[in-house]
Amino acid sequence: MSKMPRERVYYLYVALTLAAANGVVLSGNLIFLLLFWNVLVFSLYGILQVGKVYSSPAARKAITIIGVSDYVMMLGIVIFLVKTGNVNFPLETKVLFTDTWLVVSYIMILCGVLAKLGAVPLHTWIPESAKVVPASTLAFIPGSLDKLLGFYLLMRLSYYIFDITTYVPVQMILMIIGAVTIITMAIMALLQKDTQRLLAFSTVSQAGYMVLGVGTGIPIAIAGALFHMLNNVIYKSALFLSAGSVEYRTKTTDMDSLGGLGVKMPVTFFAFVIAALAISGVPPLNGFYSKWMIYQGIIETRGATNVWFIFLICAMFGSILTLAYNLKLIHSIFLGERPKDFNKVREARFEMVVPVLLLALGCIGFGIFAQALPLRYLILPSLGFELGALGFWSPTMATLLIIVGIVAGIIVYWFGTAMKPRRTSVFVGGEVLDGEEARITGPNFYSSINSVEMLRKTYDFGEGGAFDFYNYLRGAASGFAALSRDVIDRIITELYRVIGRIVTMVGNLTSLLHTGELYNYVGWIFLGGIIILLILVL
């Protein structure tokens, strides 16, 4: 951070963000919550302005998307207030979806939540910012704090204010958003060539699990979603920070130019691998346990919906994709051949290594002692309801799920590699082969996805900005700006000019009346006096 311009401003905004975040979680009133929520928008804008390079456009994009979503959320709260006459929570009797307006209100407030969580389609500011702001910002705001707050409000909204367990359409909306977010964002992550951007997409993808878990309406999945959020904060911070350490030493985030740093930065490497395995859901790390709880919840929705298995497959498949992009990251940063430039790279500074290591140990601890520690002391007390089958482990189901995962993996393998194997031969041709040139770097691991028709379409769409409603918004805004500049503005300017002229003319006229001659003035006085007396006496 110390090389960054306006470094001190950065800490101001960090403090402001923390204060507002505490305000959000401590307010028991939607209006107050909204107030702090909006302070967060402001501080986010400020914090994004402090970038590695010129970051104004990214910050502007973030504030536009979040600001518009918050505005929608504000309208939602207004509707809620009008309909129920109450903005305090938690409520004695939760609000049921008895009225179309209440559904509208829920969905409008949900917009604000989704923008914070970064769920599809309100996520586009995160990858945009990831390119230009430092790793610590990324780990702090979109990586952890925004997820926390978004998830907090989602929980409050869905189970403390409204009660979505009784209304399937809303559950379906949440689950669809969750599933779509998991898959699309994981695929986007898979194809990134920049570590920070990849992690940013990964963050959004993980948020999908939380939305999906909450959407099921099953206690164990809700607890799982909450646990997943906690885990996400831990391992995503570890990933962002260790990627930041690498960047600190190598001055690059481009996967093409990185490689082979595992030997040089062993502690960072270790922490990164642990966090990456945890996020991919490898037992016995914490990510596995929370995902497993979410899967169980999805399975239990089979009474309510017929399409539960689609969500389950999405969640499982997303998990596989997570592992895939993490392998790509590990390979391209820490394994493979090391470029010559990095031969002198050392382990990151002590104060950078320690937090990363602590976070990695947290991943392990929370995984092994999941039931004894985090669930017992953190998750369950905050939820306040009983989980029926918490200690229940179904080997058949787990095996089945793993088989499904393997099958899905095979499908990817078929589509990706088996059908169109890539063959490259190394020609020496009498020349001494330069190690630098023959290096196999990570970024092209999954470029074969491009040849899968459906996935490629998704990717092209995504890169082209079709998911990005910011672009539409900006188009509309510039259209309106042109209209107002050429028509409305001109009329107003003319109006001002005319009024200004008239006032100046009247002013000159009235100053001419002040001749400076005493008898005139006394005359006015008598005239005025007579008028007053006439009005009063008659």
Partner 1 sequence: MTFIPLFFVLPLAAAFIIPILGKIAKSLIWIFVTLVSFALFVLALYGAAVTQEVPMIVYQMGNWPPPLGIVMAFDSFSAFMTLVISMLVFAGSVFSLRYISHYTGQWKFYTLYMLITAGMMGIVITGDLFNMFVFLEIAAISSYALVAFGVDAEELEASFKYMVMGEVGGLTFLLAIALLYAKTSTLNLADISNSLQLVGHTPFFWLVLGMMLLAFSIKSAFVPFHSWLPDAHPAAPAPISSLLSGIFIKVLGMYTAARIIFNVFGLSRANAPALFNVLVGIGLLSIAFAGVTALSQKDYKRLLGYSSVSQVGYIMLGFGIGNYYGVAGAIFYILAHALAKGLLFLTSGSVVNATGTRDLTKLAGLGEKMSTTAWSFRFGSMSLIGLPPFVGFFAKWLICLGALKAGFGWLAVVAIALSVLTLSYLLKIENSVFMKKGKTQAAKAPFTMRIAMVFLVVLIIVLGIGFQSVIEFIVGPAANALLRGLEYANLVFGSAAVGF
Sites of contact with partner 1 (CB under 8 A): 503-504, 506-508, 510-511, 514, 516, 518, 520-522, 524-525, 527-529, 532-533, 535-537
- Nearer to partner 1 by C-beta: 426 or 518? 518
- Nearer to partner 1 by C-beta: 466 or 522? 522
Residue of 341, 261, 247 whose CA lies nearest to 52: 247
- Nearer to partner 1 by C-beta: 438 or 499? 499
- Nearer to partner 1 by C-beta: 463 or 494? 494
- 253 CB neighbour count, 10 Å cutoff: 23
> Minimum Å distance from CB 536 to partner 1?
4
- Nearer to partner 1 by C-beta: 411 or 503? 503
Q: How far apart are CA 299 and CA 316, in angstroms?
A: 12
Amino acid symbol at 504: T
> Minimum Å distance from CB 307 to partner 1?
56
**Phi and psi, residue 29, nearest 5°:** -150, 130
> Minimum Å distance from CB 518 to partner 1?
5
In the block, which residue shows the tokens 């090391």?
338
- Nearer to partner 1 by C-beta: 53 or 536? 536
Q: How far apart are CA 298 and CA 305, in angstroms?
A: 10
- Nearer to partner 1 by C-beta: 475 or 523? 523
Residue of 18, 16, 244, 57 whose CA lies nearest to 8: 16
- Nearer to partner 1 by C-beta: 480 or 521? 521
- Paired with 88 in beta bridges are 29
Q: How far apart are CA 314 and CA 190, in angstroms?
A: 16
User: In this structure, is the dihedral angle defined by the CA atoms of residues 300, 301, 304 and 308, taken in order, positive or negative?
Assistant: negative
- Nearer to partner 1 by C-beta: 432 or 509? 509
Please name the residues in contact with 285: beta carbons below 8 A apart, sequence gap of 6 or more: 274, 277, 278, 363, 364, 367
Residue of 55, 139, 138, 71 whose CA lies nearest to 109: 71
Q: Chain centroid to CA 294: how far?
A: 20
> Minimum Å distance from CB 522 to partner 1?
7
> Minimum Å distance from CB 204 to partner 1?
41
Q: Is residue 4 classed as helix, strand or coil in its secondary structure?
A: coil
> Minimum Å distance from CB 512 to partner 1?
9
Q: How far apart are CA 166 and CA 149, in angstroms?
A: 25
Q: Are 95 and 86 in contact (CB under 8 A)?
A: no
> Minimum Å distance from CB 533 to partner 1?
4
Q: Is residue 279 classed as helix, strand or coil in its secondary structure?
A: helix
Q: Which two tokens stand for residue 145?
A: 């704090």
> Minimum Å distance from CB 520 to partner 1?
8
- Nearer to partner 1 by C-beta: 475 or 528? 528
Q: Is residue 88 classed as helix, strand or coil in its secondary structure?
A: strand
> Minimum Å distance from CB 537 to partner 1?
5
Q: Which two tokens stand for residue 499?
A: 């009024």
> Minimum Å distance from CB 195 to partner 1?
48
